[in-house]
Amino acid sequence: MRARLALWASGLEFDQQEVDLKQKPPELWVLNPLGTVPVLLWSDQGVQKVIAQSLEIMLCALKANDPLSWLPSTQDGWDQALELIKGNDVAFKKHLDRYKYPNRHPETSASSEREQGALFLKHYEQVLEKQDFLSGDHFGLLDAALGPFVRQFAKTDLVWFNSQGWPKLINWLQAFESSEAFSFIMQKL
């Protein structure tokens, strides 16, 4: 989702192939021996490289072309964005998986994972009290990198999510879901 968001925002030309993760095609294994998605085959002036991490795909596409100014414009902006993305990728995603699929994680409880994930969301709410987007005054890299994960967390139990006293976060999520970028990534391929 976030790789597609950044590719869309870059305005670069690209092809997309949906992959059935229960029946991974040989082409996927050839490109990425880990067998994970997303994976991007990047071609630039006859030179090709494979990028198999969503964040790296985002950065590669946006560094090549960034017409919507999604990349941070200051060193502080970069530091804050990369720190929050790291927190999302290392810890929040783990809590999300355990909250969403409690049967796969009998060693923990969904409610405790939800509470730990909620600490991240509380922080995002505080950031959004000061500015319209996590990236600043417009939707950017940080919003795109975190948006799909926050959305999954919210959708796991919307009644709970909506009752937490996070009006800014709810508005932010609604803005993301009604954006052109979101419509693009939700298109059936």
Ligand X SMILES: N[C@@H](CCC(=O)N[C@@H](CS)C(=O)NCC(=O)O)C(=O)O
Which residues would be at the binding site for ligand X (CB under 6 A)?
21, 35-38, 53-54
CA gap 161, 159 in Å, rounded: 6
Pinpoint the alpha helices (H) of 13-163.
26-31, 54-64, 75-87, 93-100, 110-130, 141-156, 158-162
Cα angle at 38 between 77 and 180, to 5 degrees? 60
Of the pair 140, 148, the CB lying nearest ligand X is at 148
In the complex, minimum distance from the CB of residue 74 to ligand X, in angstroms, rounded to a whole number: 25
Whole-Å CA distances, 125 to 57, 134, 170, 185: 27, 9, 9, 25
In the complex, minimum distance from the CB of residue 165 to ligand X, in angstroms, rounded to a whole number: 30
Between helices 167-177 and 141-156, what is the axis angle to 10°? 110
In the complex, minimum distance from the CB of residue 132 to ligand X, in angstroms, rounded to a whole number: 26
| SS3 at position 150 | helix
Of the pair 54, 135, the CB lying nearest ligand X is at 54
Of the pair 22, 188, the CB lying nearest ligand X is at 22
Locate 69 and state its tokens.
């100014």
Of the pair 128, 150, the CB lying nearest ligand X is at 150
In the complex, minimum distance from the CB of residue 171 to ligand X, in angstroms, rounded to a whole number: 26
In the complex, minimum distance from the CB of residue 37 to ligand X, in angstroms, rounded to a whole number: 4
Of the pair 32, 128, the CB lying nearest ligand X is at 32
Quick count: other Cβ atoms within 10 Å of Cβ 155? 11
